[in-house]
């Protein structure tokens, strides 16, 4: 298993990548810091299985996840949640 840390649009994300999990598929896990929503998950966690070799074809886990997030951010009505202002009253 490989582990990578990236920052995508200001959100820290840990990527766990297992090539040929179960001998059949590639497995990607995303964990965003503070459970921040991403275009592929509202909870900040995503487990995703894809055909074996798909991640390598993109040049690795970081390139694959970055392209996936960029694609989904354009396709869906997703936007990074704005920081909330706390009220003193």
Q: Is residue 56 part of a domain?
A: yes
* Distance set, CA 32 to CA 3, 17, 49, 59, 87 (Å): 13, 15, 18, 22, 26
What gap in Å lies between CA 82 and CA 24, rounded to an integer? 40
| Structural domain boundaries enclosing 30 | 2-75
Query: Phi-psi category of 5—alpha, beta or left, where left has phi over 0 and alpha has psi -120 to 50?
Result: beta
Number of folded domains that form the chain: 1
3-state DSSP assignment of residue 74? helix
Q: Is residue 80 part of a domain?
A: no
Q: Is residue 40 part of a domain?
A: yes
Per-residue pLDDT, averaged over 79-84, amounts to 53
pLDDT tier at 29 (50, 70, 90 boundaries)? very high
Q: Is residue 24 part of a domain?
A: yes
Q: Is residue 6 part of a domain?
A: yes
What gap in Å lies between CA 27 and CA 17, rounded to an integer? 6
Percent of the chain residues past pLDDT 70, beyond the cut: 87
pTM: 0.79
């Amino acid at each position: 298993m490989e582990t990578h840390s990236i920052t995508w649009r200001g959100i820290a994300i840990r990527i766990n990548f297992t090539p040929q999990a179960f001998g059949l598929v590639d497995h990607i896990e995303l964990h965003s810091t503070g459970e921040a929503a991403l275009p592929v998950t509202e909870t900040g966690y995503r487990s995703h299985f894809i055909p074996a070799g798909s991640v390598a074809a993109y040049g690795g886990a970081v390139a694959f996840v970055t392209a996936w997030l960029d694609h989904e951010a354009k396709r869906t009505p997703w936007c990074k949640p704005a920081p909330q202002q706390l009220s003193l009253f």
